[in-house]
Amino acid sequence: MKNKLVELLKQSIDNCLKNGDLKGTEIPLIEVELPREGAHGDYASNIAMVLASSQRNAPRKIAERIVGNISDNEKLLEKIEIAGPGFINFFIKNNAWSTLLKEVDRLGDRYGESKIGNGLKVQVEFVSANPTGPLHIGHARGAVIGDVIANILSASGFLVSREYYINDAGNQMNMLGESVYYRYLELMGENISFPDNCYQGDYIKDLAFEVRENHGDRFRSDKDGAIPVMTEYAAGSILEGIKEDLETLGVVFNRYFSEKELYKNNSVEDILNKLQEEGFIYKEGATRWFKTTAFGDEKDRVVVRENGAPTYFAADIAYHLNKYERGFDKVINVWGADHHGYIPRMQACIQAMGRKKEDLAVVLVQLVNLLRGGLPVPMSTRAGEFVTIREVTEEVGKDAARYNFLMRRSNSHLDFDLELAKAQSNENPVYYVQYAHARICSIMRNALEQGYQIPEYKDISSELLTADEERDLIKIINSFPEIVEGSAHALEPHRIPYYINDLASVFHGFYNKNKVVSDNAELTKARLFLIKSAATVIRNALKLLGVSAPERM
């Protein structure tokens, strides 16, 4: 509906320009929005005010001319009013609303999809945690947000690939191997003090136990031989665990990309040399610096240390080059907010490679405060005590976990309360929307028992749907595609849960005031179709979130 009105305005302004009612030639971006106040119509546009300064004329006069040139061929409009400082308020005819439901019927489970992505290839990289320990609650939020951004983009016509970058090179990997080695020695009965800077968690002991099962005591006095074997075994095993945990959360990647590979095939060295030839990298003794200040970073960054070892940043440069070489038009990185200082140098890096700044988008995910009944759950990574993704998923369930992670703007801190998330009560928003869906399914079962068929659009008299609650429900159903588009554009998944919540609320309100299955067979059919449409939208929206839409609860 909104798009139709934008079209009407565009044509009208075009006419105005031709017949001299407006000066100039350019049509500005036309915005149509939903007014808060019912008295301000169903939709409103501020276009006359936007044009006022360039037209050097009063907004209300401009509005009059625009309104005068609107030709409502589809007969959508009850009336148009010019109000306030120059708003154009549109009042839609009652019978124009229900025709909108035809789209839901036609598209079914594809309702809400769009083509705004235009086939652009996008990579969403997320989680990317070191394989040095199990994923904890903080990773879970990033995992779900990345996954849903991918879903939303995919539904919006982008070609999306989900990728996990494995930091399986560098110092922390040696640390992992050593940690296992010391636990291994402990199992052998050696009296050693486990170093503070090693990984403390109990999972290291399990890994050491497995190593002993497979290799016996042959590494007991062969530390140099042990470390590579133990590192590889531990990293592989931990990564497998990570994959399993992610799967319980419903997160599956198209590709796991190994940092180690970038070194094996010389990608890191090659790109560093190339950038050096191009003057973006300079040497200072043995140290190599990337001139990120040339692109607005606050200081240059080391890519190769004095001792010859490349930094993490060096591998990241090679990795991002690799992404674009694989043909991704746009790259989206979902990072923990503690990495925000890293953004300028990555943007410098891709610009040095000849890409535009916008080809890399970074979505920052703020930390999660884990609570239980309002009290903080103590966590210390250092002591290896953290609540893992698996524990959370097993305790509260996949649906509640995902929904709770998605409810807040990713850029703000999130309180995740285990008790609330698993409570099957009105305090838990996920049940509110699932209940709406289950309730609709229940009504339809009931209708079937009474001999009704579940109607399609062609079977109903849509003009019967004129009650306020019916119109509100149709309106909100109709806005779903715009919500998805906006969410894709802004990379803001939280808009979807807010939307479903509103939709569920309007539905529940409708339900409590109007009986769907009644003596009036025609009205019953029309309303069955209406709630069926609502259920379709709830299902489609929940699917974007990776949350189930149960038929009974």
Site for RNA in 490-549 (CB under 7 A): 490, 492, 494-495, 498, 501, 505, 508-509, 511-518
Binder of RNA out of 34, 361, 377, 467 (CB under 7 A): 34
| Segment near RNA (CB under 7 A); pick from 153-161, 237-245, 395-403, 487-495 | 487-495
Stretch 52-71 residues interacting with RNA (CB under 7 A)? 52-53, 59
- Using DSSP's 3-state secondary structure scheme, residue 437 falls into helix
Nearer to RNA, 39 or 75 (CB): 39
Binder of RNA out of 37, 196, 213, 224 (CB under 7 A): 37
| Segment near RNA (CB under 7 A); pick from 49-57, 180-188, 221-229, 389-397 | 49-57
Nearer to RNA, 15 or 369 (CB): 369
As a whole number of angstroms, the distance between CA 542 and CA 550 comes to: 10
Output the smallest distance, CB 375 to RNA, in A.
13
Indicate the pairing of strand 375-376 with strand 368-372: antiparallel
As a whole number of angstroms, the distance between CA 496 and CA 490 comes to: 12
As a whole number of angstroms, the distance between CA 256 and CA 307 comes to: 30
Binder of RNA out of 41, 112, 117, 146 (CB under 7 A): 41
| Beta bridge partner(s), residue 83 | 87
Indicate the pairing of strand 43-45 with strand 375-376: unpaired
How far is Cα of residue 83 from the mean position of the Cα atoms in its chain? 38
Q: Is 425 in the site for RNA (CB under 7 A)?
A: yes
Stretch 143-202 residues interacting with RNA (CB under 7 A)? 167, 170-172
Nearer to RNA, 356 or 409 (CB): 409
As a whole number of angstroms, the distance between CA 250 and CA 543 comes to: 11
Output the smallest distance, CB 515 to RNA, in A.
4
Closest by CA position to 373, among listed 416, 429, 315, 329: 416
As a whole number of angstroms, the distance between CA 285 and CA 425 comes to: 65
As a whole number of angstroms, the distance between CA 282 and CA 292 comes to: 11
Binder of RNA out of 134, 429, 455, 546 (CB under 7 A): 429
Strand-by-strand arrangement of the 301-304 sheet: 281-284, 287-290, 301-304
Output the smallest distance, CB 296 to RNA, in A.
11
Nearer to RNA, 353 or 430 (CB): 430
Q: What is the DSSP letter of 196?
A: T
Closest by CA position to 537, among listed 471, 464, 455, 482: 482
Stretch 391-420 residues interacting with RNA (CB under 7 A)? 407-409, 411-415
Nearer to RNA, 98 or 410 (CB): 410
As a whole number of angstroms, the distance between CA 240 and CA 235 comes to: 9
Binder of RNA out of 55, 123, 161, 366 (CB under 7 A): 366
Binder of RNA out of 25, 39, 71, 224 (CB under 7 A): 39
Nearer to RNA, 221 or 442 (CB): 442
- # binding residues, RNA (CB under 7 A): 91
Nearer to RNA, 71 or 197 (CB): 197
Closest by CA position to 487, among listed 161, 107, 110, 116: 116
Output the smallest distance, CB 389 to RNA, in A.
18
Nearer to RNA, 412 or 453 (CB): 412
Output the smallest distance, CB 266 to RNA, in A.
18
Binder of RNA out of 431, 457, 480, 529 (CB under 7 A): 431
Report the b/e string of 220-235 with b at 16+ CB within 10 A: beeeeebbebbbebbb
Output the smallest distance, CB 337 to RNA, in A.
6
| Beta bridge partner(s), residue 301 | 290
Nearer to RNA, 19 or 381 (CB): 381
Binder of RNA out of 1, 5, 8, 44 (CB under 7 A): 44
As a whole number of angstroms, the distance between CA 49 and CA 499 comes to: 29
Stretch 69-108 residues interacting with RNA (CB under 7 A)? 83-85, 87, 89
How far is Cα of residue 358 from the mean position of the Cα atoms in its chain? 18
Nearer to RNA, 124 or 365 (CB): 365
Binder of RNA out of 56, 75, 458, 552 (CB under 7 A): 552
Specify whether the CB–CB gap between 196 and 287 falls below 8 A: no
Strands (E), 355-445: 360-365, 368-372, 375-376, 414-417
Nearer to RNA, 39 or 73 (CB): 39
Output the smallest distance, CB 336 to RNA, in A.
8
Stretch 251-310 residues interacting with RNA (CB under 7 A)? 284-285, 287, 298, 302, 305-307, 309
Nearer to RNA, 192 or 553 (CB): 553
| Segment near RNA (CB under 7 A); pick from 41-49, 70-78, 179-187, 225-233 | 41-49
Strand-by-strand arrangement of the 375-376 sheet: 375-376, 368-372, 414-417
Alpha helices of 71-155 — where are they, by DSSP H?
Answer: 94-98, 101-107, 137-155
Output the smallest distance, CB 297 to RNA, in A.
10
Nearer to RNA, 53 or 193 (CB): 53
Helix, strand and coil in the chain, % to nearest 5: 55, 15, 30
Output the smallest distance, CB 178 to RNA, in A.
14
Distances (CA, A) of 274 to 324, 346, 448, 449, 467: 16, 17, 69, 72, 68
Stretch 432-461 residues interacting with RNA (CB under 7 A)? 432, 435, 438-439, 441-443, 446
